[in-house]
A and B are shown apart, each in its own frame.
Chain A
């Protein structure tokens, strides 16, 4: 893609966002909606900038990020391990497959009350919920990635004298990395969403808690701030994952 089409793409992409903000501004400045219901964008972004500097807001972001990363890491480790194991052994596959079939379409948010009762109101229940939700996309894409590995690659590795147990780490895992990373990307978005919801349901800290407190006191400005923050966090984390992806996949023909 040449420079000119990149510029057109960026310009075109900015248009709807700019339009949305302009519409938002217009609605509030022409007085169609009172400030208590829809604060003007300038006020919201100013409040966001102001909040970002306060330590209590930074604590909330830190708490949310900690839960997000803890849950996401557990999901990645378990998902990749189980996915590879299921692809490697038909016996494990026969056990894992039906369990995943039952658990994957289950709405995990409904399990949250049970997690609260079992694990308490602290970090543990939220981290478990994040891990449970992010697990399945990662597990499934690992499994499909690992079972789609070209047989010729495995044969060549074996012909070159690679021991059987090393094939999994030297051939299958690297070949499945693009698929695993796609799963991780989905899992990351899910983690962002779930950690926020869990904090909204019951929490004493975190971005979701900020939203709920703002909603209870009808502070419309403060309701927008955590929402914009989680959207920004999602974009930043997605960008980081993209960087990791292009680093890990530097030898692959297409990224």
Chain B
């Protein structure tokens, strides 16, 4: 019985996927319009896109840009966030700037950045970098701020230097919170990737999606939605696996990411 319910809870997301696709199928059959193909038709169009060499290269190029933008952002944002969390002056130095930039849609900077850097890879990676940085900084900041003072004191008493304390105490203690930020950042990177490619129609997954929309190839539109959605769910599940390995000792907080746009 226990294994049965455990199996059920493991299969639940899959069942939810199937359920949502079934709702789509039924809704499409009821509405019966050209612009809303059934789930089966959309799924059938997926292999032809992934099989096409050019679109596959496009999608992989998107993923590469996303990976680079995400990694650079994480590498820079975590140290900054940790320093903000441990030093009040650093925090009050950067906080207002971050508050102003938070509600600005990063992909909306695309037209301006394109003026400066052209429509190439660098502009898109810069936008992804900007989009990912903010949540990672914010969560690292929160995580570092919540580190227990006593642990730092004991570390200092045992002769750790400030930099060592940062790496040996603050970083591990803040890790669960940092990884929550990275998870949000990952979803955000995907969203920014799609939007930036939609604005700079040159290559990539977003380009295929919105070109198909403009040309009225509705099967391709819905198939691309499925592909991008699957990328989001897949990346998130993979990251969750990694996260639960790294911070097995901490009790899980939010086990579902708060996606940003």
Contact = CB atoms under 8 A, between A and B. Distances in A.
Give the residue among B35, B229, B259 with the most A Cβ atoms within 10 A. B259
Contacts, number: 181
Contacts of B191: 107-109
Interface residues of A, number: 67
Given A104-B256, A108-B261, A110-B229, A231 B20 contact: no
Interface stretch (A46-54, A93-101, A169-177, A246-254): A93-101
A1 B195 CA distance: 42
A8 B258 contact: no
A196 to B, nearest CB: 5
Contacts of B109: 227
B84 to A, nearest CB: 12
B92 A9 contact: yes
A234 B13 CA distance: 35
B75 to A, nearest CB: 21
A196 B190 contact: no
A37 B114 CA distance: 10
A13 interface: yes
Interface in B6-50: 12-13, 15-17, 19-20, 35-36
Contacts of A227: 104, 108-109, 112
Interface in B222-241: 222, 224-225, 228-229, 232-233, 235-236
Contacts of A17: 96-97, 100
A57 interface: no
A111 B187 CA distance: 14
B92 A231 contact: no
B92 A193 contact: no
State the main secondary structure of chain B at its contact with A.
helix
Contacts of A208: 108
Give the residue among A117, A193, A194, A234 with the most B Cβ atoms within 10 A. A193
Contact of A231 (B100, B194, B221): B100
Interface in A200-248: 200-201, 208, 211-212, 214-215, 218, 220, 223-224, 226-227, 230-231, 233-235, 237-238
Interface of B: 12-13, 15-17, 19-20, 35-36, 89, 92-97, 99-109, 111-112, 114-116, 187, 190-191, 194-195, 198-199, 209-210, 213, 218, 221-222, 224-225, 228-229, 232-233, 235-236, 254, 256-261
28 contacts: A8-B89, A12-B93, A16-B94, A98-B15, A104-B256, A104-B258, A105-B235, A105-B236, A106-B232, A106-B259, A110-B194, A114-B36, A137-B259, A140-B256, A144-B254, A189-B260, A193-B104, A197-B108, A201-B210, A208-B108, A212-B111, A215-B111, A223-B111, A224-B112, A230-B103, A230-B105, A231-B101, A231-B104
